[in-house]
Amino acid sequence: MSHYTKVRTTIKSETALLQALADLGFGPTKIKQSKEAQQLEGFQGDLREQTAEIIIPRRHVQSSANDIGFKLQEDGTYEAIISDYDKVKYNKDWLGKLTQRYAYNNLKNELSDGGFFIESESEEKGEILMQVGTLSTGFGV
Amino acid sequence: MSAPISIRIDKDGNVHFEVHGVEGPSCEKLTEALIRATGAEVEKSLNEEYALERPDYIQNFNE
């Protein structure tokens, strides 16, 4: 018998978020990170009212771009701040890919601590597939 | 001893678990452990503050 569960991923782990951004080409040298949220810069270098703890500086985003920010919310989740101009490129599909890479990295980081191990992993039609086993005998297997 | 678990992460980042060969409370326990391990239980996702109109896929999360 198989049991199916679908969970919607929420960006909570700073580590997994940074790993996901690196997977999409924004490694440590292309990220500005601070404990206290900093104001985002607009395409002319002007400071915007929006703030974020994790920022992709506009020079790394695209030509004439604004900063992209990831703002930590009171509930511990991160919210992406993307200007209307940059949403043409950094759109729903990009956010989906980022969320997918986040979920993948977060799983890899957390599964071993939770008594699981990854037997295999692959990618098919844009989806990531993993086979996972458990080290624990406490699940009645 | 292992309990094969299939995990699929779709294009939107949703995580789909399929647990094989475990039934009843043990299955629920395993599923809960998986959700705890992924930290992916809240039904919300990234959204965009700049947008005057939120796209459909974000509005759907709040319905």
- Calculate the alpha carbon distances from A22 to A131, B13, B20 in Å: 24, 16, 33
Residue A122 lies in a domain: no
Inter-chain touch A83–B47, beta carbons under 8 Å:
no
Mean pLDDT of B33-48: 53
Map residue A123 onto helix, strand or coil: strand
Give yes or no for A111 touching B (CB within 8 A).
Answer: yes
CA distance B50 to B2: 47
Sheet containing A127-134: give its strands across: A2-7, B15-20, B5-9, A127-134, A116-124
Residue type, A137: T
**A136 within a domain of the structure (yes/no):** no
d(CA A100, CA A103): 5
Secondary structure, 3-state, A86-105: HHHCCCHHHHHHHHHHHHHH
The tally of domains found in chain A comes to 1
Q: Give domain status of residue A85, yes or no.
A: yes
- Please check whether residue A18 lies inside any domain of the structure: yes
pLDDT over 50 at B63, yes or no: no
Q: Which token pair is A51?
A: 């703030």
Give the separation between CA B19 and CA A75, rounded to whole angstroms. 30
pTM (2 d.p.): 0.79
Under the banding of pLDDT at 50, 70 and 90, the label for residue A111 is confident
In a domain, A140, yes or no: no
Chain B residues lying within 8 Å of A95, measured CB to CB: 45-46
pLDDT tens-place string over residues B5-34: 888 999 988 888 887 766 556 666 667 766
Helix axes B24-38, A92-111, angle to 10 degrees: 110
Residue A132 CB coordination number (10 Å) = 23
Give CA–CA dist A38/A45, Å, rounded: 14
Quick one: pLDDT band at residue A35, thresholds 50, 70, 90? very high
pLDDT value of residue A9: 76
Query: B36 versus A65: which is more confidently predicted?
Result: A65
Would the pLDDT of A32 be above 90?
Answer: yes
Cβ–Cβ gap B30/A134 under 8 Å: yes
> Could you list the residue range(s) of the whole structural domain that residue A83 is in?
14-115
| Cα separation, B26 vs B34, whole angstroms | 12
Q: Do A103 and B40 touch (CB under 8 A)?
A: yes
Q: CA of B56, closest CA in chain A: separation in Å?
A: 10
Per the domain annotation, does A120 fall within a domain? no
In a domain, A41, yes or no: yes
Task: Report the number of secondary-structure helices (H) and strands (E) in chain B.
Answer: 2, 2
Calpha distance A20→A25 (Å, rounded): 9
Q: Which residue of B has its CA nearest to A88?
A: B51
Q: Compute the distance between CA of residue B50 and CA of residue A18 in angstroms, rounded to an integer.
A: 22
Kindly indicate the confidence band of residue A64, based on its pLDDT and cuts at 50, 70 and 90. confident
